[in-house]
Amino acid sequence: MAVVRVKRPPADRNIFFQVAGYVAEIGKGMRLTMGIFLRQLFKREASNTLEWPEQPADYGERFKGKHFLTLRDDGEIRCTACFLCATACPADCIHIEAAEHPDGSIEKYPSRFEIDILRCVFCGMCEEACPVDAIRLGPEYTMAGAAGEKWVYTKDYLSQRSVLEGGVTSVKDENTKHPDLDREDAAQTSHLKHGVH
C-alpha cells in the first residue's frame, strides 16, 4: 500500500481582509438598526409597532377570526345539525352530535357542537357550507391561553360568550341562505355579518 503525501495548502494571506469585511458589514447593519431605534425612541420617526392590547389591531371586513353560532329569534341555536359544516371542514375539527328537538316543528338540533380550534385553519368552509347561516367566523382575533380544554370551543362558548353580548341573532330568513341584496342592504348585511360586538 502506497502512502501519498499531500502538501499543506498555502496560507491565505487575505484572511485578515475577509474578517475585516465581515466585521464591516455587521457594523453597517448595527449602525442602521441603532439609527432607526434612536430616531423612533426620540420621536423623530413614527414607529410601526402596534401597542397591543392597549391599541387594538384593525383588520379588514373579510377577516376570519373566532367562530360563533347564531341564534334564532326565540334564542335557540340556529344550527339544525345537518353536518354540512363538519363534512366541508378540511381540518376535520368540527364534532357534532344530533338529538331530536323537544319542539315537534324543529326536526333536530346539536346536543353537542365542538370545534377543536388548534386544528382549525380558519378557511371559512364551514361558514360557506351552512345552509341556515348558523356558524360564522367573526372579527375576534385574540386567542391566547395555556389550558388544553380552552382550545375546544363548546356549543355554549360558541353561542353565549361575553363578547357576543348575549348572542348574535341571524339576519337571514329561516329558509334563505343568500337573499338577493341591493347595494344598500349589502353594506348593512356586511356590517352585521360578524354580529355586533
pLDDT along the chain (197 residues), means of 10: 82 75 92 94 87 83 89 87 95 95 85 93 93 90 74 90 74 54 44 42
Of 73, 137, 74, 84, the residue nearest 110 (C-alpha): 84
pTM of the model: 0.63
Whether residue 188 contacts residue 194, with contact meaning beta carbons closer than 8 Å, is answered with no
186 is written with which cell numbers? 349589502
The residues spanned by each domain of the chain are 17-45, 67-180
Give pLDDT, residue 73. 84
Measured distance CA(47)–CA(74) in Å, rounded: 49
Measured distance CA(70)–CA(10) in Å, rounded: 77
10 is written with which cell numbers? 498555502
Measured distance CA(88)–CA(73) in Å, rounded: 27
CATH architecture of 67-180: 2-Layer Sandwich (3.30)
H-type alpha helices, 137-180: 155-160
Give pLDDT, residue 17. 75
